[in-house]
Amino acid sequence: MNQDQLKQLVGRAALDYVPAGQILGVGTGSTVDCFIDALAAEIAKGAIAIPGTVSSSERSTQRLIKHGIKVLDASEVTGLAVYIDGADEIDGRGYMVKGGGAALTREKIVADLAGKFVCIADESKLVQTLGAFPLPVEIIPMAAAQLTRRFAKIGGTASLRAGVVTDNGGHILDVRGLSITDPLGFEAEVNQWPGVVTVGVFARHKASVCLLGGAGGVKTLTF
């Protein structure tokens, strides 16, 4: 199977984690697009019934609405049973790098509401150590040069993602050359740097389950 077929495979597999009759947290990205399409098909058949969703991006919101699925604002809910989202990297402990689609801040907000994070990804996203994928960091624009220097001090080469403005009005630094062996400590440290809105390491909000698509089908990893 090619990568698009693997995304469709794990998108359908994630339907088993949709909590019946409860509001669902929905992430962002091409794999999540496949999940949204599969979810809409099941709702149309009457196989799944949910009162609505909380979305982590304008992109996903528009896709959900197009399918006739209700989208609630995060402020309208006090908690979610499940959040389903993809990852750019995930390690053997469930720690992730996210933000390739520039939605990392809202993704963390929705993940923070959820009791369970279900990650859907193809097998190429599974790594031993986070950092091969350029680490996305949402920043306040005026801090770009300052933060670039701070990342250089720890061995990272940061560059602004050209032409990208997040749903929050922030910019994205992509940081290359890092090996993130302590995701929890790294996330806590970088989040304190002035000008950082969110760092794309999801350690505090790590995956509970990962549905990993490969040539042999979908493998379920639990953490």
CATH of the domain at 139: 3.30.70.260
Is it the case that residue 118 has pLDDT exceeding 90? yes
Same domain, 65 and 104: yes
- Catalytic residue from among 107, 123, 138, 189: 107
pLDDT at 1 > cutoff 90: no
Any known ligand binding at 156? no
Is residue 179 part of an annotated ligand binding site? no
Residue 52's domain comprises: 3-127+204-222
Contacts of 114 (CB under 8 A, 6+ apart): 25, 79, 80, 81, 82, 83
Same domain, residue pair 45 and 91: yes
Beta bridge partners of 162: none
Residue 124 pLDDT grade (very low, low, confident, very high; cuts 50, 70, 90): very high
Global confidence as pTM: 0.95
Q: Is 89 tagged catalytic?
A: no
Co-location of 111 and 150 in the same domain: no
Q: Which two tokens stand for residue 18?
A: 């949709």
Average confidence (pLDDT) over 84-97? 98
How buried is 37 (Cβ within 10 angstroms: 0-12 exposed, 13-18 middle, 19+ buried)?
A: middle
Is residue 195 a known part of a binding site? Answer: no
Residue 140 has pLDDT above 90, yes or no: yes
Task: Tell me the pLDDT of the chain averaged across its residues.
Answer: 97
- One domain, residues 98 and 33: yes
The CATH number for 33's domain is: 3.40.50.1360
Confirm whether residue 88 is marked as ligand binding.
Answer: yes
**Domain count for the chain:** 2
pLDDT digits (tens, 9 = 90+) for 37-61: 999 999 999 999 999 999 999 999 9
Query: Do 191 and 208 share a structural domain?
Result: no
Average pLDDT on 27-45 reads 97
